[in-house]
């Protein structure tokens, strides 16, 4: 049941004259009536498109790269077969610049290999995982600040050895 009182809309007396609609502030600031240039009006969704998971996408990419490498090897073998009549210098046939570029492996997202880093290895707290500027001389554990140092001092030797083995250090705890 609606509450009694002034919640009903009041109907204005109609004297026959139409009053113009005055837009509210929300209607004035609304973007609904403006054209949307970022939407393509001719777009239709492809219902036959199949969703692929990451493993499938990477496998297809790897297969495509393998096929491309195989195609380049075949082209190189055919070119070497045609170059048999060319003059040899020191037992080698001269290579064209395009052949030299094909010999180099093109790095891709899945095949790139990086050299070792030139930056020093990061030092992290064995207890919290935060940056560790300090090392306990007795146990060899790295720690972040004095509150963690209290925990390091209270550890037994077996617990300290477990923390060190988790980091990959096999040192003797004094």
Q: What 8-state DSSP symbol labels residue 66?
A: H
Helix (H/G/I), strand (E/B), else coil: 51: coil
- pLDDT number for residue 37: 80
- 135 close to 149: Cβ distance less than 8 angstroms: no
- pLDDT number for residue 155: 94
- 132 close to 144: Cβ distance less than 8 angstroms: yes
- pLDDT number for residue 91: 57
Q: Which residues pair with 89 in a beta bridge?
A: 92
Give the chain's residues under pLDDT 70: 1-17, 83-112, 171-174
pTM of the full structure: 0.36
Nearest to 141 by CA among 160, 122, 123, 162: 160
- pLDDT number for residue 50: 81
Gap between the terminal Cα atoms of the chain: 82
At residue 130, what are phi and psi to the nearest 5 degrees? -80, 175
- pLDDT number for residue 115: 74
- pLDDT number for residue 63: 93
- pLDDT number for residue 33: 81
At residue 33, what are phi and psi to the nearest 5 degrees? -85, -10
């Amino acid at each position: 049941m609606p509450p009694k009182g002034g919640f009903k809309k009041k109907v204005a007396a109609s004297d026959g004259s139409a009053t113009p609609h005055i837009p509210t502030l929300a209607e004035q600031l609304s973007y609904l009536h403006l054209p949307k240039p970022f939407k393509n009006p001719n777009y239709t969704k492809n219902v036959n498109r199949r969703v692929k998971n990451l493993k499938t996408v990477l496998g297809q990419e790897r297969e495509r790269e393998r096929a491309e490498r195989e195609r380049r090897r075949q082209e190189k073998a055919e070119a070497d077969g045609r170059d048999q009549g060319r003059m040899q210098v020191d037992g080698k046939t001269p290579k064209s610049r395009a052949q030299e570029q094909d010999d180099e492996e093109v790095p891709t997202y899945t095949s790139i290999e990086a050299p070792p880093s030139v930056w020093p290895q990061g030092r992290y707290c064995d207890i919290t995982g935060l940056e560790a500027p300090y090392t306990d001389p007795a146990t060899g554990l790295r720690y972040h600040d004095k509150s963690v140092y209290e925990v390091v001092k209270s550890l037994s030797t077996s617990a300290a050895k477990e923390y060190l083995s988790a980091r990959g250090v096999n040192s003797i705890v004094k």
